[in-house]
Amino acid sequence: MGRAAALLIAAAIAAFQASSCSEKSSAPPAASQKHAELKTSPSPKAEPQKQSEPKTSPEPDAAPRKNLEGIQTSFKDCRNFFANGVPPIVPHQQKLRELCYDAFAILHSGVRKTPVFVAQKLNRALVADADEKRKDRFFADARLPEAERAKLSDYKNSGYSRGHMAPAGDMPTPAAMAQSFSLANMVPQVISHNSGAWKKIETDTRLYASRAIGDVYIITGPVFGERETLIKNSDVHVPTHIFKLVYDEAQNRAWAHFQENAEGVRAGEPISYEDLVQRIGMELLPSVKPAPRLPLPQ
């Protein structure tokens, strides 16, 4: 990294640390957009941040709901990470907040202290730029209320890795790389799974995007069982499974990886988008009807 870029990142970190927050973080980079808390209604409005003028959130573009009812998320400041600019429909939940970053967007659960999903857009140019040096400076995102966010101490000696949903390897700039280490972008992941099968899936997805004709939209997130478990001495929930949806816009083609968060798991054959929707209960592509007959990539 050049000296000028390093100075810019240092200045951003210093400015963030100087702002009012209830918890210090190890490396809190400045994200460029605002966040909003969702209300449990079909068409939520974005709530303004403290010390800012109230703003009205425009309604998302109308989209079919495909037999699923829930919250139509907004992401008014970063809809570029979603196919046709229309973000997912998710089940009614408490303490949902939308977070926009330079290279990804997060719907965060203040109940589970993990993301509900993390959305990205990749293409040839972005993958070509994804050559930033990894810093591994994890931090608790101070834009989230203290009671709703994971802390560095939650993962310490937990036996789980801090599993990226938007991979650090996808980040095209130093700022995006730094932001990807927000704990809002993490789930407790079995160490061997994170470094094994899941790493292969991330690498294969990045390779696919580098060869695609146009934009590839990716949505990644955790899945929790009926009897949820927590990190010991923590309120952070541990997922039973992790999914990654890949949508190739030019080919109108979608597939998903659905992996158990466990040891000994291998990267297997992808499942269809329709199958994923049934498993997770979220409509991740509400404005899209992917072609059903294209063969899934092996």
Which residues are annotated binding-site positions? 194
Element (H, E) at 124: helix 124-129
Alpha helices in 196-254 (DSSP H): 197-211
What letter represents residue 34's amino acid? K
Q: Please report, as a single letter, which amino acid is at residue 111.
A: V
CA-to-CA dists, residue 186 to 165, 181, 271, 274, angstroms: 6, 8, 23, 26
Match 């955790």 to its residue by tokens. Answer: 222
Instruction: Please give the positions annotated as active site.
Output: 164
Length in residues, the chain:
298
The token pair at 75 is 């992401």
CA proximity to 160, closest of 135, 190, 183: 190
Q: How many CB atoms lie within 10 A of CB 84?
A: 14
In 68-138, alpha helices (H): 124-129
* Residue numbering of the annotated binding site for Mg(2+): 194
Phi and psi dihedrals of 75, rounded to 5?
Answer: 50, 50
Asked whether the CA dihedral 109, 35, 280, 244 is positive or negative, the reply is: negative
Distance between CA atoms of residues 95 and 149, nearest Å: 11
Cβ distance 242 to 222 under 8 Å? yes
What is the Cα–Cα distance from 139 to 148, expressed in whole angstroms? Answer: 14
